[in-house]
Amino acid sequence: MSSVIESIETLLVDLPTIRPHKLSMTTMACQTLVIVRLRDSDGIEGLGEGTTIGGLAYGPESPESIKRNIDAYLAPLLIGQPAGAVAALRARLDRHARGNAIAKSALETALLDAQGKRLGLPMAELLGGARHDHLPVLWTLASGDTARDIDEAFQRLEQRRHCDFKLKIGANAVDDDVRHVAAIKEALGERASVRVDVNQAWDESTAVRGIAALQAAGIDLIEQPIPAREHAGLVRLANRFEVPMLADEAVADARDGFALAAAGFNGAYALKIAKAGGPRGALALAQVAQAAGIGLYGGTLLEGTIGTAASLHAWATLPELAWGSEMFGPLLLRDDIVAEPLAYGEFGVELPKGPGLGIALDEDKLAHYVRR
């Protein structure tokens, strides 16, 4: 008899960050992970993670709503179903529940982790097979203090931890943000690539002024300068400037990616398993981008190790990440809930080995940080 899903447990886990992380919409001093533990009748457990930024500051799902909607609506759709039927189970979730991309991503990750353990295969093999075992990782400089950000960048370079840097801007006046970014780029020179993420904070006319100044300062990539739904404006900005635009919140899934490419967008897409509803949805968006000649970037919602590992297994199957990845979420956290941390070094991170995610929980650490 084939294995069936017996239970699904969700846990809220609050982990402090190593420093305040300043974005255009919030400043984070703690990250809340929603950890999923999916147990099958054959004794196999699959792990998943659903994570967002700043409660409801970033998007329509909060940690509390992710947990509640899994417990009340999504888990009952899976319990008692064949454990190995990952594609059919994802279709079942979409058929009966709208939206909830982050919650569905956590469940899909747990299903894939369990299936990988059952078959003795890494998750990447279930997604088409790994082409890479080491992926590049940039670091986000988000203290908001110019001198501190410069010191942090040089420290990461000397450690051979990161050689590309992203700056979170948009919370301050445009001229102030540009001065901050330009000073950091001038200090780093050609030693490092510097990009910015505006997190949708500008309108189009402000973006024109800001991007012109950032391009003149030598910035390499501009991420989501205007609101996600303003596709036409993003296309205009991409065609107006030489510095590429990176679409993030504007492209959640393959349908968004097709629409933006069809409208004439010529920049890059940020892939995120959370916004695409899971690793398989993110890879479908990647296929659209590749067909349209659009570059790819491996994005994060600042997941912990479980969510980061799931993303890495997906990104490892891609021919190329032209703009690298930002899978540094675990490094932003002061502690972890896994037995073995991810191996960061040489300006990137190693793909975890072993079946499924290749990640095991540290039960004592989990018990310490779980919200009661």
The residues annotated as belonging to the active site are 168, 326
Nearest CA to 11 out of 73, 88, 66 is that of 66
SS3 12: strand
Q: Are 219 and 196 in contact (CB under 8 A)?
A: yes
The first and second tokens of residue 97, run together, are 């529940």
Q: How far apart (Å, rounded) are the C-alpha atoms in residues 195 and 187?
A: 14
Listed in sequence order, the residues at least 6 apart from 181 whose beta carbon sits closer than 8 Å to its beta carbon are 167, 169, 194, 196, 214, 217, 219
Which bin fits 347, alpha (ψ -120 to 50), beta or left (φ > 0)? left
What sign does the dihedral 304-307-313-318 (CA atoms) show?
Answer: negative
Q: Report d(CA 59, CA 54) in Å as an integer.
A: 9
For 285-306, the DSSP string reads: HHHHHHHHT-EEEE--S---HH
- Contact assessment for residue 26 and residue 58, using Cβ atoms and an 8 Å cutoff: yes
Residues 113, 117, 119, 124: is their CA dihedral positive or negative? Answer: positive
> Beta 139-141 vs 134-136: how paired, if at all?
unpaired
